[in-house]
Structure 1
Amino acid sequence: MYSSRYQKKIIAALGPTNTGKTYLAFERMMGYHSGVIGFPLRLLARENYDRAITIKGYQNVALVTGEERIVPEGAQYYFCTVEAMPKDQLFEFLAVDEIQMAGDPDRGHIFTDKILHSRGTLETMFMGSHTITYLLRKLVPEVKIVSRNRFSSLTYTGQKKLVHLPPRTAIVAFSTEDVYSAAELIRRQSGGAAIVMGALSPRTRNAQVDLFQNGVVDYLVATDAIGMGLNMDVDHIAFAAVEKYDGRSWRNLRSNEMAQIAGRAGRYRRDGTFGATGEVGPIRQSMVSSIENHEFEKLLSLRWRNGLLEFGSIESLIHSLRRVPKKRGLLRVDRPEDEQILGVLARDQEIVGKLNNESSVQLLWSVCQLPNFRNSASSSHHHLVKKVYSFLYEEGKIPDEWISGQIRMLERVDGNINDLLDRIAGIRIWTYISNKAEWVEESSGWDLKTRQVEDYLSDALHQNLTKRFVDQKTSVLVKRLRNKKDIQVDIKEDGVVAVEGVMAGRIQGLRFLDEKRENNSNRSLLKNAIRKPLSGEINKRAKDLLSSINISLSLSFDAAVLWNGFPIARLRKSNNFYKPRLEILTAPLMAQNLRKAIKRFLENWLIDYVEHNLRSLFKLTKSNSDSPLRGVLFQFFERHGSLPKSLVSGQIKQLSGTDYKELKRLGIQIGREELFMPGLLHTKARQLLFILWNVFNQTPSGYSMLDLSRVSIKVEPEFAISLYEIVGYRLRGDLLIRVDILERFLGKIKKISNNGLLTTDLELLNLLGCNKENFDSVLTALGYKLQNNNVSGYKFVGLKPGTKLKRSQNMGIKAQAVDENSPFYKLKELI
C-alpha cells in the first residue's frame, strides 16, 4: 500500500457536502477485484461496510477500525478508519475520505501520510474539500482534480428563536450543557429531540438518529459531530453557537467548518437552509456568502510527522519523531498525545530499564498509541499505558484476570448519562486492546466481550437519553415558561433573580449563583431564560464597581477580595510575597472589556491596600543606610517585620549612634530578645501578613484566622508556628506571645526578680493574659524552676547545656534572590 510505484491513476474528487464523493468512491471500488477506503470516523466505516456486505457478501468484506476488526479469510474489500488502514497489503483501489483533515492539529499527520504515500495498484482516489486543492497539487503533482458540484442549493434564512424553528431541524451547539439545554427546551415545546454527540457510540448514535428519521421526534440537537457522515432528512440547520472549544481555546467557527455542518441540510436533490438561533444573532454576510457559494480560504499547510521511525533506542525514536519535514507546505505536528506519553515514560526509570533492544522500543511506541478515549487525567492514562507495556514486556500478553477486572468495573448501567458516556469511553479502550491479537490470548474472546459490553452500555445510554429528552413529564415551572411569549425576569436589589415569580438564583458580587434544584435540566433552561437580563445587570454592576471608591472593598481571611461582602476575586500565589496575582470571579456573561478593566482596577486596589497597611515595613526600602545596618534592615524586611535578635547580634554590635537614630526613625525597637516594629502590630497589618503568608505558601484552608488582637494564644498541635511568628508572635512554653508583650514581660521579671528568685505576680499573669498553667510553661521555657510546690515561687536555674530556647526561627518563607551589593534596590522591585 505504501509505494511510489503505483502512480497509474490518482484522482481527487473535491467539493462541498452532498456532492456524492463518498458514493462515487464506493461505486468505483466495487468495480475492482480489491479495494480499501479510509474514513475519518468509525461510524462511517461501519455504515459503508454494512452496505458493501449486501453487494459483495459477508466473506468478501472486512471492517478494520481501532475498536472493531472483522476480517474474514480472503476478504478483498476493506472499510477502515484512516489510522487503521492496512500498511502491509496491496489493493487495486485505494481511497481516503475527508482529506482536508490533513490540516487538523491533532490527527492531520495521519491523513497527510496517506496523501503522500498510500496508493492503489490501479487507482487512488482522495475525497474532500476544495480547500486542499493548492497543497494537493503541490505535494502530488500527478493528481487529477475532479470538481464535484452540490446536488442541491443551500440558503441562509436568518435567525429564529429555538421555539420557532421548523420541524426537521437540527440544532447545533458546541458543549454538552448547551446540547442538553436546547434539547430540554425542544422537548417541552415540541415533544422531544434526538441527541447526536461525538461521545456517543455508533450504536447509540444510530438509535438516536432513528428517532428522528422515523418521525418519533421532529428535532435533533447535535454537536459538530453531525458534520460528517450522517445522511438524514434534515431540512434546516440552526446554529445555537458559532464558537467552539478546539481542545486548546475557545474560538469562532471558520466558514469551511460551518459549511461542513450546514451542508447536512437538504440531501441529494432536496434544497436545504441554514441559520442561527436568536441567542447567536445574524451570521456575518461574508460568512453566509462563503457557505452559500462554497468559497473558502485555502489550506496553507498540512500537519506532518516522520513515518520512518528508528527504534534502536528510546533516544533515536524520539529524535526521529521530531524530524522536521523537508517539503514546503508541511508543518510538523505539535507533539500529539502518543508522543507526550512516550516522553513521560522515557523518563520513567522502571520503563527505561526494560528498553534493551529494538523490539522493546517498538513495543513501547505501539502501546503509547493506546487512545485516551476517556480524556482522563494524563497521569491516569500514563499509568494504564505503563501497566499494559509492563505486562507485554514481562509476560508477552496481558493477563486475562487483569482485563476481566477492568471490564467488570465498566459493566454497569447505573448512574446518569455522563456516567454511561464515561463507561462507554472506557470500554472503547479495552475494545481497542482486545483487537490487538498480539496483546491478548487468542482464545480469550475479549473482542466479543468488549463489544457486548459496549452494546449493553449503548442501549442503556439510548434509553436514558430518550427518557430525559423525549418521555420526561413537563415540570410545573417549564409549563409556565412555555405558555409565556415574553418571560418575566425580575432582579431585586438584594440580587435575587426570579423568573415568573419563581426564584432562579441570586447575583452575588459579579456572579450569578443559581438555585439548587433536583432537576438539573430545569436549571439549564432557567439560565437560558435569564441570560439577557442577567448579562445586563452584571455588566451594570461591573460599571458600578469601577466607579466606586476603594472603601467599598475589603480582604477576607480566606484571601478573597470582597465587594459589599461578596467575593469578586481571590488572591493566588505569585513569585512576590507582597504582590499575589488575582483570580477574578466574574460571570461568563460579562463583557470582555469590563472583565479586563475590573482586573486592572482590583490589581491597583490591592497594591494600594498592601502598601497602606504595611507602610511601616515598606519604609525600610527607602533607607540609604550602609552596612551593617543595611544587613539588619534586609533581614528584618525578609522576615516581614519582626526578627529574633540572636540572628543579627553580630551586626547590632557594630551599629553606630547614627544607625540607632535611623532605627528609631524607621520605628524599629531593639528589645532583649527581639527586633520589632510597633507600627506593624496593629491588628489590620498582622491580619494582612497572615493572609499573604497563607497565599504565598498555599496553606490548607483549615488554617483559620484566630483573634490577632489577643496578646497571647494557647498553642494547639495543628498550629503552624512559623505562620504565627510572621504576624509577630513568639513561642515560649505553651504560649504564642506577641513580641512587644514578650519584651515587656522579660523587662518586668528582670525588674522584680531578686537574685534569680521570682514570685507569682498577678500583674505578670494579666500581662500575658493567661492562666497559671500556661504561665508556668512560659517561665520553664525561660529557665525558671518552680520551688517547694510554689510556696517560694520560681528560681532561675538557666537552660541545661545543649538545650535551646523553645522557639522557631524558621519563618517558613523562602528568601527572595537579592543582589548582595544592593539589597534594597531589589527590595524596591519586590514592591
Structure 2
Amino acid sequence: MCGHSSGTIGFPLRLLAREVYDKVCRIKGEDACALITGEERIEPPNARYFLCTAEAMPRNGGNRAFVALDEAQIGADRERGHIFTDRLLNARGREETMLLGSSTLEPMVRKLVPEAQIEERPRFSTLTHAGSAKLSRLPPRSAIVAFSIEQVYQVAELLRRFRGGAAVVMGALSPQTRNRQVELFQSGEVDYIVATDAIGMGLNLDVHHVAFAALSKFDGLRQRRLVPAEMAQIAGRAGRHQTDGSFGTLSGSRRGAPLELSEDEIHAIENHQFAPVTHLFWREPNPRFDTLDVLIGDLESRPMEEGLALAPEAIDLAVLKRLAEQPDIAADVKTAGNVRRFWEACQLPDFRQQGADAHARFVARLWSDLRHDYIGADYVAARISELDNPSGDIDTLQGRLSAIRSWAYICQRPDWVLARDEMAARARSAEAKLSDALHQKLTERFVNRRTSVLMKGMGKDAGLLRVELKDDGQVTVEDQPIGHLDGFRFVVDADASSEERKLMLAAAEKHMASLLAQKAQKLVADELGELRIENGCILRGDQPVAQLEKGKSPSRPRLLMAKELGQLDPAHRTRLEDALQLWLEEQLAPLAPLRALEDAATDPEAGTEVRALLLTLADRNGTTRREDAGLAHVPKEKRPFLRRLGVTIGSLDVFVPALLKPAPRQLLKRLGIDNRPVRDAMEAVHDGENQLAAGYRRAGKQAIRIDMAEKLFRAAHESRAKAPQSKDARGFRVDSALATSMGLLPESFRSLMRDAGFRPGQPVELAEGALGPPQPVAWTWRAPRKDFAPRKTDRGPRKPRKDFKGKDFKGKDFKGKGGRNANPSEPVPARREPKGDGGQAFAGLADLLKKG
C-alpha cells in the first residue's frame, strides 16, 4: 500500500487495524494516515492511507489507488460473512486490489472474480503433530486453546499453581487488555498463554507448541467439532517464519473421552490441505428504505449469483425484526430517512453478548433519543461515568468494558451525539482505565509471580537471579519474598503453598552462601566494625580479633577467636563466631581454584600420578617448575582432567592462571601461606629484584609473569610449526613484537627464550650499498630437557654386556648361547659404546637418534 499514492485496507479485527496503522504512521507520518473502526476514528484532513475494520471500510474502497481486504475467507462466516463478501465483490482500487486469505478461498475467487491473479505464499516453517500431553508436561512457550470461559479459567488456574501462571486471551476482552496479556507472554514473564479461538486470528506470538484443550465449540446454533481448516488456523500460531512448531491435544481431562485428532485431521494440518470453500454468505448491501417491511424484505432476499448463499439471520436483522413488531416504534418509523436511521441503530454491535432480546431492549432505549435528533451529551456523560469504575472482580470489569465499548461505538457516529469528540475521548479514557484494571485482575488471579520467578530459577540461569537480603532479614528473589533469615537459618514464607515451599527451599539453597555472607557482613560490621586479614590474623585496626591456624588444607585455615572475646556470653559468642566464620569464607573466595586442586588431590578416582602432581601444585600455591612436576608419570588421557581444573602445562612451568591474579596472591601473602614478595598489580613484566616475586620467573635482568612467558613460548612454537621443514631450511622467525609490548627488553627476551630451548642465529648484514631493514634472525629450537622417568624392569640385576663375538668387553669368554643376537626377542637397554671402536660408537649414536 505504501508504494501507492493512496490506499485502504480492511481488517477483521480492530486490534490488527491499530497495529498496521502504527506501522504506516512510522513510514508516512501521522498526517497522512487514518484509523477508522467502529469504536475509534482518527482521520486527519489530508489523510491518504486508511486502515479500517471491514465493517468501517468503504464499499467501493473509497476511490483510492490501492485497496486490500485481509482474511477474505471470513466471507464464509455465519455472522460477519456477508460484510466480507460485499467488500470482496465491490471494493476496488484504481491501480491495484489485493484479496488476502486462505487458499481454501481460491475456487470462489476464480468463480466470482475471474480476472484475479492467484499468488501463493507458502509457510516457511513446518507444523508437526506432537501427540497428547498432560498439562504438567507441556513445554515452555505453549498456548492452550479452550472454547469456553470456564475452561480457560480452569486451565489458567492450574498453570498458576504448577507453572507460575499464564496469560489469558479471550474475544470478550478489550483490545487493550488483550495486548497487555499478550505482552505478559511475549516478555517471558509467563511461559504459557490460555486462549479461546480468538488466538487464531490477528495475534503474532512467540509460540512453540499449541495444545487443544477441546476440539468442539458452540457456533451459535449447535455444539460441533472444529473442521480441519479451523484447527489449522489455531495450530498455525505455533512457529514463526522459519521456526518450526508443533501441535497436539491436552490429556488428563476428567470429563468425557480423551481428546484425539484423527489421522486425516493431522495429515490435513501438517500438509495444509483443506476442503475448499463452496459458498460465501451474502446479504443485500443496498436495501431500500421505503418502509420497514421493504427493508426487511430486501435484507432477506436471496442472491442471484451462483456461489453465494443467503446469510443467516445476524444480530442486527434479528433486532430490527423484533423492534419492527412493536407498535410504538413502527408508528414513528415512517419516512425513508427514519427507516435508514433506525436501521443504523439496529446495526449497533452486541458487545455485551447478551443475545437478541436483551440487545433489542438496549437499542430501543437508544432509539427513543435518536428519533428526536441527538442523544444529549449530559446523558452520555452520565452513562460513561457510571461505567468508569475500575473496582470489582473480573466478571464485573468485563461487563463494564463491554458496555463502555458500546458507548464508544455510539460516540463515533457523526450524527448521534452532541459534543461527539469530547464524549468519544471520555469513552476511550474509561475503556483504557477499565482495560488496565482487568489486566491487573487477570494477572493477580492467574499469575503467581513468585512461582514464575522460582520456576525460571530452577533452570540453567538460576545464578543470574537477583537475590536480596533486606535490612529486616527478609529474603527476596526478583523482588518477590520467599522467606527470611532467623539468625543463620532460612525460614520459608508461612503463606507459601506446599508446591511453592519446595521451589523456595531449592532457590534458597542455591543462594544460601551469598545470603549468609551478607548476614554475616552486617553482623560483623555492627559488632566489630571493619576487619582485615594480615600476617595470619584477623585484625580490627591493630587489634587482633582471631588467629588463623593451619587447617586441614592451606586454603582452609582454622579460626581461633581472640582471648578477649572469650568474656562474651556463650550464646552471643557462638553467634559472633558463626558470623566471623562466614565473613572469612567470603574473604577466602579468591582461593577457590586452589581449593579445587586440594579437593581433586584427595579424590581416589584421579589416580596416584595426577594426585601427586596436584599435591605438588597445591603445596606450591599453584605454580611449580616442569621438571619438578613429574609429568612423565601422568597418563595423557588424564590431561583433560587437569585442564578442567584450570591447570596449564607450559614449556617450563606447570601453573594455574587463576592463581596468578593480584587478589589470590595478596591473600596468600596476608594469610602467611606464601611469604614470597607479591606484586600489587601482578603486571606482566617488572625489573628484576633480589628475591623473585611469587608467580614470576627470571628473564635476564627482568622478571616476567609465568603465564605471559608461556604466551611467548607458544607463539614461538607456532612459528616453528609453520616454518618449512626441508633440509635447506635455516631455522624459523620469532616475532619479538609481543615481548616488546609486554615491556620485555631484547636482552631479557633472548635470555628467557634460551631457557625454553630457543637459540637465535647470527644476524645477517646487508650487502654493501643495499637499503632496507635487516634480514630477520633465524631461530632454532632444541628441547632443554625431558620429563625422565625411572626405567621399569623386572629382569633383576644388570648383567655384563657382551660384544657381538660372544665375549664381554673385558675379553673374557661369554658362557651364553651365541652372544647379543642369540635371543633377538630379549629387550636390550640403550648403552654407551666404547670409544675404541668407532663403528660401534656410530651404531650406538644412530640408535640414540632413532629414539629421538
Q: SS state of the match for residue 119, structure 2?
A: strand
Measure the CA separation in 1 of the matches of 2:402 and 2:191: 29
Give the match for residue 49 of structure 1: 21
Give the match for residue 391 of structure 1: 369
Give the match for residue 377 of structure 2: 400
**401-410 or 97-106, larger mean C-alpha shift:** 401-410
TM-score by length of 1: 0.53
Structure 1 counterpart of 2:3, one-letter code = G
User: 1:183 Cα shift?
Assistant: 0.8
Measure the CA separation in 2 of the matches of 1:356 and 1:256: 46
1:180 to 153, 167, 172: 153
User: 1:222 Cα shift?
Assistant: 0.7
Measure the CA separation in 2 of the matches of 1:398 and 1:324: 36
2:186 to 204, 207, 213: 213
1:121 to 94, 101, 110: 94
Q: Looking at CA atoms only, which structure, 1 or 2, has the larger radius of gyration?
A: 2
Measure the CA separation in 2 of the matches of 1:346 and 1:240: 43
Measure the CA separation in 2 of the matches of 1:335 and 1:246: 14
**458-467 or 190-199, larger mean C-alpha shift:** 190-199
Give the match for residue 740 of structure 1: none
1:417 to 394, 398, 410: 394
Task: Indicate whether 1:457 and 2:429 are aligned.
Answer: no
Q: SS state of the match for residue 84, structure 1?
A: coil
Between the two proteins, the alignment pairs up a number of residues equal to 447
Any conservation in 1 of the 2:377–2:419 contact (CA below 8 Å)? no
Structure 1 counterpart of 2:309, one-letter code = L
Q: 1:631-642 to 2 correspondence within 5 Å?
A: none
User: 1:160 Cα shift?
Assistant: 0.5
User: 1:186 Cα shift?
Assistant: 1.1
User: 1:443 Cα shift?
Assistant: 5.6
1:308 to 245, 266, 286: 286
Any conservation in 2 of the 1:82–1:96 contact (CA below 8 Å)? yes
Gaps of 5+ in 1: 1-28, 475-521, 523-831
Give the match for residue 192 of structure 1: 165
Measure the CA separation in 2 of the matches of 1:256 and 1:378: 29
1:276 to 249, 259, 278: 249
Cα distance 1:336–1:378, how it changes in 2: closer, same or farther (>3 A)? Answer: closer
Measure the CA separation in 1 of the matches of 2:376 and 2:221: 37
Give the match for residue 466 of structure 1: 443
User: 1:473 Cα shift?
Assistant: 8.2
TM-score by length of 2: 0.51
User: 1:408 Cα shift?
Assistant: 2.2
User: 1:416 Cα shift?
Assistant: 1.2
2:9 to 33, 37, 46: 37
Give the match for residue 359 of structure 1: 337
Runs of 4+ in structure 1 deviating by more than 6 angstroms, as ranges, are none
Give the match for residue 545 of structure 1: none
Measure the CA separation in 2 of the matches of 1:64 and 1:176: 30
Structure 2 counterpart of 1:343, one-letter code = K
Any conservation in 1 of the 2:210–2:235 contact (CA below 8 Å)? yes
2:322 to 330, 344, 351: 344
Measure the CA separation in 2 of the matches of 1:352 and 1:282: 53
Measure the CA separation in 2 of the matches of 1:338 and 1:295: 35
Give the match for residue 81 of structure 2: 108
Task: Indicate whether 1:228 and 2:201 are aligned.
Answer: yes
Q: 1:44-193 to 2 correspondence within 5 Å?
A: 44-87=16-59, 89-193=62-166
Measure the CA separation in 1 of the matches of 2:59 and 2:70: 17
Measure the CA separation in 1 of the matches of 2:33 and 2:141: 34
Any conservation in 1 of the 2:319–2:357 contact (CA below 8 Å)? no
Measure the CA separation in 1 of the matches of 2:420 and 2:338: 25
* Cα deviation 1:199-244 (Å, max 9, x = unaligned): 1111111111111111100111111110011111111111111111
Measure the CA separation in 2 of the matches of 1:371 and 1:208: 24
Cα distance 1:389–1:254, how it changes in 2: closer, same or farther (>3 A)? Answer: same
User: 1:407 Cα shift?
Assistant: 1.6
User: 1:390 Cα shift?
Assistant: 2.5
* Cα deviation 1:776-830 (Å, max 9, x = unaligned): xxxxxxxxxxxxxxxxxxxxxxxxxxxxxxxxxxxxxxxxxxxxxxxxxxxxxxx
Cα distance 1:151–1:473, how it changes in 2: closer, same or farther (>3 A)? Answer: closer
Measure the CA separation in 1 of the matches of 2:125 and 2:83: 32
Cα distance 1:253–1:213, how it changes in 2: closer, same or farther (>3 A)? Answer: same
Any conservation in 2 of the 1:363–1:389 contact (CA below 8 Å)? no
Measure the CA separation in 2 of the matches of 1:429 and 1:267: 35
Any conservation in 2 of the 1:156–1:273 contact (CA below 8 Å)? yes
Structure 2 counterpart of 1:449, one-letter code = R
Structure 2 counterpart of 1:430, one-letter code = W
Give the match for residue 424 of structure 2: 447
Q: Indicate the structure whose relative CO is greater, using CA pairs within 8 Å and at least 6 residues apart.
A: 1
Q: SS state of the match for residue 24, structure 2?
A: helix
Cα distance 1:323–1:281, how it changes in 2: closer, same or farther (>3 A)? Answer: closer
Q: SS state of the match for residue 144, structure 1?
A: coil
Give the match for residue 815 of structure 2: none
Q: 1:476-625 to 2 correspondence within 5 Å?
A: none
1:369 to 330, 347, 360: 347
User: 1:418 Cα shift?
Assistant: 1.1
User: 1:405 Cα shift?
Assistant: 2.4
* Cα deviation 1:249-284 (Å, max 9, x = unaligned): 111111000000010111111111111111343311
Measure the CA separation in 2 of the matches of 1:444 and 1:462: 27
Any conservation in 2 of the 1:39–1:81 contact (CA below 8 Å)? yes
Q: CA RMSD in A?
A: 1.7
Measure the CA separation in 2 of the matches of 1:323 and 1:210: 45
Measure the CA separation in 2 of the matches of 1:272 and 1:291: 12
Give the match for residue 808 of structure 1: none
User: 1:119 Cα shift?
Assistant: 0.5
* Cα deviation 1:265-324 (Å, max 9, x = unaligned): 111111111111113433111100000100001111110001121111111111111111
Measure the CA separation in 1 of the matches of 2:420 and 2:168: 38
Give the match for residue 266 of structure 1: 239
Q: 1:777-788 to 2 correspondence within 5 Å?
A: none
Give the match for residue 175 of structure 2: 202
Any conservation in 1 of the 2:205–2:237 contact (CA below 8 Å)? yes
Give the match for residue 327 of structure 1: 305
Structure 2 counterpart of 1:31, one-letter code = G
Measure the CA separation in 2 of the matches of 1:312 and 1:166: 61
Any conservation in 2 of the 1:232–1:264 contact (CA below 8 Å)? yes
Structure 2 counterpart of 1:233, one-letter code = D
Task: Indicate whether 1:286 and 2:264 are aligned.
Answer: yes
Q: SS state of the match for residue 234, structure 2?
A: helix
Any conservation in 1 of the 2:127–2:244 contact (CA below 8 Å)? yes
Structure 2 counterpart of 1:153, one-letter code = T
Measure the CA separation in 1 of the matches of 2:193 and 2:420: 42
Any conservation in 2 of the 1:400–1:444 contact (CA below 8 Å)? no
Task: Indicate whether 1:429 and 2:411 are aligned.
Answer: no
Any conservation in 2 of the 1:413–1:457 contact (CA below 8 Å)? yes
* Cα deviation 1:610-636 (Å, max 9, x = unaligned): xxxxxxxxxxxxxxxxxxxxxxxxxxx
Structure 2 counterpart of 1:349, one-letter code = P
Q: SS state of the match for residue 95, structure 1?
A: strand
Measure the CA separation in 2 of the matches of 1:231 and 1:102: 22
* Cα deviation 1:570-601 (Å, max 9, x = unaligned): xxxxxxxxxxxxxxxxxxxxxxxxxxxxxxxx
Cα distance 1:406–1:295, how it changes in 2: closer, same or farther (>3 A)? Answer: same
Measure the CA separation in 1 of the matches of 2:422 and 2:231: 43
Cα distance 1:189–1:306, how it changes in 2: closer, same or farther (>3 A)? Answer: same
Any conservation in 2 of the 1:156–1:288 contact (CA below 8 Å)? yes
1:240 to 213, 233, 239: 213
User: 1:377 Cα shift?
Assistant: 4.7
User: 1:135 Cα shift?
Assistant: 1.2
